Structure 1
């Protein structure tokens, strides 16, 4: 037996979402052919490695731990990404401002380093003033008033130059303080990065929850479908068994009918043969009867004529 059927409506993803009450659309799901996107993470690693070679060696010492920690974390992130199908483009944007702030901090000098040249000049001026003072005192002791007066003017010039150096020192301190104000942005930049990271984590957590909810609905639907399939197969098996018995009984009854038909055909053939023989016998009997009657009539005719002759004689 061959059975042909035509399914009216295919069971597609829209029907699955409608029946199971799913939230996640196909566009939001990763596919097996999706490849991980982590080139921006590699670019961040390159930036950190370049910062380790920064010309400001004093700052490198202060930030080596931070840079190494960042590189270690990026290595782990890259390793995880290579085994996934995730797109790290958005994630890689979070540390950009942090790295920019770090680079800006490494580009500025601390006050001590900025004042090295100025301090040397001030110390040199103080030494020159002290030397001038000694010469002037000796000249006064020796009565060399012209030399003492000359040293007085030299001291005045040195003091004026010292005053310029001191003013320059405060200027350098002010400029360096302005440059170092970006250190005060570290907390703000880190806070913003933390907020962005937290927002991304919350979004991924919500995405995970939605996926887990849909997975539960799908698992429930599969379990329900499996139960319905088992019940349907059980009903089908019972119906099939009943049908097999019916067909077997039907075949037996058909065989019995055919057997009876064949028996009746044999009986019909026998009856036909018997009828034929009987008809043949009756025809022969009729022929004999007709012959007898003819002979009998001939007998009567002969006897009648002979009787008349006898009587006449």
Structure 2
């Protein structure tokens, strides 16, 4: 009799546990992107949406909300219903840089729960194919000779491209004009047209234009060379030292989302990142796929927030 009661009790507990699990997803899931279509964040978000739609049997849709240094998408996610149906595909632009430059109506640390790191990619110094410089030394010489002729593009004020551009000017002893856009795709068009000469874009965004011969890559802004651009030197190797920049992409969900939904998203994202085709696509964009735990990513997110805060203060970078 005791054995029968034990079996029945176990069955009841399992049934209750199953009922306690939050059904997910129960409606379309939005993947919010703080930049325009065609940029690195958008490319990664659409890849994740495709994989999550397949595995979680739901409808995962990318929504582009460019502007305000990627914080519009973050704001919408922070204020969404905490049910896991609004996700944010973010970069350090919106999570670690913009909060120190823009007055926000949300707290990027408290109001967004980290799901996982997707990939880290180098920023690469590129110039248009019509710029008569084939290396950093030649570019610096041209910029010193005719400073009024050089503008650098970014995907927005406060973006990693913006911070990298300011850092390069200081380290190389040159001066260029910052031209912000709402996303990398728009900036690319003006670089190709010759209206803007320089950009410190992510390899994930710039690789297509580099392969097409429309951009000339002169240096990567990381300590090591990019596996996808092995013949492109680092800035330090090219003679300009003093700063480095990379861009990371991660997934967040609205704070207060049920723990089992958060855990399911964390497990699923980790599984997707390890898929051979996803690894190949991320590496093809010049990135290093994320391989840290959600807890490690949470600590990294906070450390990056603090690091960029110090950097922005030291460089006296302000919004125009």
Taking structure 1 as the reference length, the TM-score comes to 0.25
Higher relative contact order (CA 8 A, sep 6+): 2
Q: More strand by proportion, 1 or 2? A: 2
Q: More helix by proportion, 1 or 2? A: 1
The structure number with the bigger radius of gyration is 1
